A and B are shown apart, each in its own frame.
Chain A
Amino acid sequence: MNVGDKLILRKSNVSDFFSSLQGEMQLIAPKKRFAGDVVFDVVNSPEEIVWEYGHDIYPPGKRYIFPHYEDMFSYRRGEQISIDVAAEAPKQAIVAIRSCDVTAVRFQERFFSTPIVDPFYKARAENTVLFSLVCNEPPKKECFCICCDGGPYLETGFDVQLTDLGDRFLYEIGSEKGLRASEPRQQYLEPSSEQDIAERKRIELHADSLFQTASYIAKAIIYITSDEVPDEVWEELGSTCFRCAACTNLCPICTCYTVDDRPEPDGSFTRCRSWDSCQYAGFTREASGHNPRPTFGSRVKRRFYHKASFQYIMRDGRHGCVGCGRCVSSCLTKLDLPSVVKKIRRAMHDYIEPKSRPTAFLQ
């Protein structure tokens, strides 16, 4: 068995395979909850895994590797200050995670390890194996991963990738971590045939054809890097934002966090980090009252600058959008990437003469 192997996991063996894996680590997978909702959660047995689900709005990769609230350490005041660093991260496998979320996890892994290694993120990421599931068709109408290089299937970056081929899964091993999770369960895996690979190819092409073709991210990169979008346009866009921060909290890539010292009932304190959002006015407000980003427009501009500017692409190795569509389905005032690109495009026609537009050289 090697990295790069393409194997077959029969659906009749899926239960045994994941039962065996569950002996080594906890399984996190889409699971039926109240009223038919399917969300990622710890499953007690592999039968609970829902393999055909749409899209979990709460990004599972970020949720279990960079949790919404994470205790860093606790301390006790007194003659001496005693500090206890948080316990080790649990071993876990996230099963049936979508390609876009895997891409986002890889983005976060890179961010949290360069140039400085974040010890808490590293501990969790090292103990997490991702079993990603190829989307045979776009799970939601908001999906635009194909435009952002986030899916619907992966070439690299996965630990194990599963493709639903009807009565069986194509089982691809993409990393050492995936290999280590697969080797003890070799008896459930069998070699794949050329027919399986061809079937996979057919599914890829079919899935590709179901997406709308639109180059949102390419346009966003041009508009934002050029810095020629007038501030009035940003203010106009920002005027509808009511800073609920759904866009950044649900974004599987967003990494910003804040740190708080939480008092505990026993008199100790816990230093805890939790997701923060650049869309909040207090995100940059200093103790003196000075705020470098005082307006809604400046904060909306900031969010898209971080997502799509060339400077950040150089830093992070890719743009900050995987096209999961969560901001599209969550933002009530349409400040998601596709809508903002469309609005900027329209506004630029009103503000800037065609010959001085950043795309002028194309004409």
Chain B
Amino acid sequence: MSTEVKTPTLTGAKPRNMWGVTGVPTGNLYVPMPAVIEKIIVETPDTKTFRLRLEDPKHAEWFTWEPGQFVELSVFGAGEAPIGFASSPLERSWFELTIVNRGKVTGLMHELKEGDRVGIRGPLGNCWPLEAIKGKDILIISGGCGLAPLRPAILYILANRQDYGEFWLLYGARTPADINYKYDLVEWEKRDDFHVLQTVDVGDESWTGNVGVVTTLLDQVKLDAANAVALTCGPPIMIKFATLALVKMGFSEDRVVTSLERYMKCGVGKCGHCCVNHVYLCTEGPVFTYAQLQEFPETRA
């Protein structure tokens, strides 16, 4: 086991939020900034990725974000929903949001076309501790559309590959048709410095890869748990079993980092929907270490 001092910065990643020093360019926290849909990429039958550009150049100049943060997306005529950034943080002129067609807001969002307008409030929340984990081996475990909030982190790490050690991605989807970012996964699998393992819960005729839940892939991972950090995001049941498996592998509880999801309205710590015990996910989360989560009895599964 490692005798190294714990890295407190892991839990202290605090990016600039929309209520930061300079204030919000719209003058009111609750008023969204208009954005144009530049491009729509169909990922799976129920998932699309929307490339958005803020319409007002002043807003675009003010708008900077970190991997792991999210925005409140206003679909005019339906309402707001919290959506995580899904594109490379190095690209500053546009950003992408990957959206599953599930509810009222996302349903109307899926009907929009390129050139239509939506509203953006953000960036909100804290971020993946990418600075603090430099030099460490990285293991990413993600399930379904849980790959979306991790994609900015993956693209950032790949762009700064020399700053990080071994790099593993385990990705599970329900069926081969539900795999997001197939175009990225193809490119990533070609790289020598990035180990990508995929699995599906249920295969089909053309699927030749792994079948089973994502935690079954952990046997194939060759990592020194003492010098590694795990980032996870996915359905609650996946996060639970992945976390337990990682702890069993020897990951310390403050080296397992996860991004939680809650129903959310305001995004600025007022409406009360996203509270986990006494913590407001929208301002103090959504990224927590497993050690932190132990302090919130409501997340104990």
Chain A to chain B: the 10 pairs with minimum beta-carbon distance, closest first: A256-B272, A311-B278, A287-B102, A287-B103, A261-B79, A259-B265, A116-B268, A116-B19, A81-B34, A77-B76
User: Which of B25-33, B127-135, B178-186, B218-226 interfaces with chain A?
Assistant: B25-33
- Check: B7 CB closer than 8 A to any chain A CB: no
Determine if B298 is an interface residue (Cβ-Cβ < 8 Å). yes
Of A80, A263, A292, the residue contacting B262 (CB under 8 A) is: A292
Are B263 and A311 neighbours in the complex by a CB distance under 8 Å? no
CB contacts under 8 Å to A, within B93-139, are 100, 102-103, 106, 117, 119
**B278 interface neighbour in A80, A112, A285, A309, Cβ under 8 Å:** A309
Contact of A75 among B76, B263, B277 (CB under 8 A): B76
Write the nearest CB–CB distance from B87 to chain A, whole angstroms: 22
Task: Please state if B78 and A261 are interface contacts (CB–CB under 8 Å).
Answer: yes
A255 to B29 Cα, complex, angstroms: 17
B298 closest partner in A (C-beta): A292
Task: Tell me the complex Cα distance, A317–B145, Å.
Answer: 39
Contacts of B81 in A (CB 8 A): 287
B247 on the A face (CB < 8 A): no
CB nearest neighbor in A for B32: A83
Chain A residue with Cβ nearest B261: A286
Is A227 positioned at the interface, with any CB of B under 8 Å from its CB?
Answer: yes
Q: State which of A44-52, A171-179, A276-284 sits at the interface with chain B.
A: A276-284
Chain B residue with Cβ nearest A305: B277
Within the complex, the shortest CB–CB distance from A295 to chain B, in Å, comes to 12
Task: Select B265's contact among A257, A306, A314, beta carbons within 8 Å.
Answer: A257
Do A259 and B79 touch (CB < 8 A)?
yes
Closest to A263 in B: B77
Once bound together, how far apart are the Cα atoms of A80 and B35, in whole Å?
A: 10
Q: How far is the CB of A286 from chain B (nearest CB, A)?
A: 5
- Determine which residue in B29, B261, B271 has the highest number of CB atoms from chain A within 10 A of its CB, and name it: B271
User: What chain B residues lie within 8 Å of A111 (beta carbons)?
Assistant: 270
A306 to B299 CA separation, bound complex (whole angstroms)? 16
Within 8 A of A (CB), among B9-32: 19, 27-32
Are B269 and A284 within 8 A (Cβ)? no
CB proximity of A2 to chain B, nearest CB, Å: 35
- The complex places the Cα of A229 from the Cα of B143 at a distance, in Å, of 35
B272: A residues at CB distance < 8 A: 255-257, 276, 278
Q: Provide 22 A-B residue pairs closer than 8 Å at the C-beta atoms, listed in order of the A residue.
A: A72-B30, A73-B30, A81-B117, A85-B27, A85-B28, A85-B31, A116-B268, A120-B30, A255-B272, A256-B272, A256-B273, A257-B271, A259-B79, A260-B79, A261-B77, A276-B271, A284-B273, A287-B106, A290-B235, A302-B298, A306-B275, A309-B277
Partner of B30, one of A77, A119, A285, A286: A119
Q: A287-B81, A305-B278 are known contacts; what are 4 more A-B pairs with Cβ within 8 Å?
A: A72-B30, A85-B28, A261-B77, A306-B275
Chain B hits for A278, CB < 8 A: 272
Asked if B270 contacts A283 (CB within 8 A), the reply is: no
Interface flag for B236 (CB, 8 Å) = yes
B residues near A (Cβ < 8 Å) are 19, 27-32, 34, 76-81, 100, 102-103, 106, 117, 119, 235-236, 261-263, 265-266, 268-273, 275-278, 283, 297-299
Q: How far is the CA of A346 from the CA of B79 in the complex (A)?
A: 46
Task: Name the A residues within 8 Å of B19 (CB-CB).
Answer: 116-117
Contacts of B80 in A (CB 8 A): 259
Query: Is there a chain B Cβ closer than 8 Å to A187's Cβ?
Result: no
A338 CB, nearest partner CB in chain B, Å: 23
B104 to chain A, nearest CB (A): 9
Taking CB as reference atom, which chain A residue is nearest B35?
A81
Hey, which chain B residues are within 8 Å of A261, CB to CB? 76-79
Q: Interface size on A (CB < 8 Å)?
A: 47
Q: Quick one: given A83-B31, A119-B29, A276-B271, are A283 and B278 in contact (CB under 8 Å)?
A: no
Instruction: Kindly list chain A residues whose C-beta atoms are within 8 Å of the C-beta of B79.
Output: 259-261, 271
**Contact of A311 with B277 in the complex, beta carbons under 8 Å:** yes
CA of A258 to CA of B271, assembled, Å: 7
The answer to whether A269 has its CB under 8 Å from any CB of chain B is yes
A256 to B19 CA separation, bound complex (whole angstroms) = 20
A33 within 8 A of B: no
Q: Within 8 Å CB of B268, what residues of A?
A: 116, 118
Q: Kindly report which residue of chain B lies nearest to residue A313, judged by CB atoms.
A: B278
A315 partner, pick from B100, B262, B276, B278, beta carbons under 8 A? B278
Report the Cα distance A287→B119, complex, angstroms: 20
Bound complex: CA A314 to CA B279 (Å): 12
Q: Is A288 an interface residue (CB 8 A)?
A: yes
B270 touches A257 (CB 8 A): yes
In whole Å, how far is B126's beta carbon from the nearest beta carbon of chain A? 13
| Cα-based distance from A149 to B278 in the complex (angstroms) | 22
Cβ A284 vs Cβ B31 within 8 A = no
Contacts of B298 on A, CB cut-off 8 Å?
A: 292-293, 302
Set of chain B residues within 8 Å of A81, measured between Cβ atoms: 34, 76, 117, 119
A23: chain B residues at CB < 8 Å are none
Determine whether the beta carbon of A256 is less than 8 Å from that of B261: no
Given known pairs A85-B28, A286-B263, the reply for A112 and B270 (CB within 8 Å) is yes
Q: Could you say which of A255, A259, A278 has the most chain B C-beta atoms within 10 Å of its C-beta?
A: A259
CA distance A293 to B266 in the complex (A): 19
Q: Does A312 interact with chain B (Cβ within 8 Å)? A: yes
How far apart are the CA atoms of A81 and B32 in the complex, in Å?
10
* Interface residues in A232-283 (C-beta closer than 8 Å to B): 255-261, 263, 269, 271, 273, 276, 278, 283
Q: Please, which residues of chain B bring their CB within 8 A of the CB of A166?
A: none
Q: Which residues of B contact A258 (CB under 8 A)?
A: 265, 271, 273
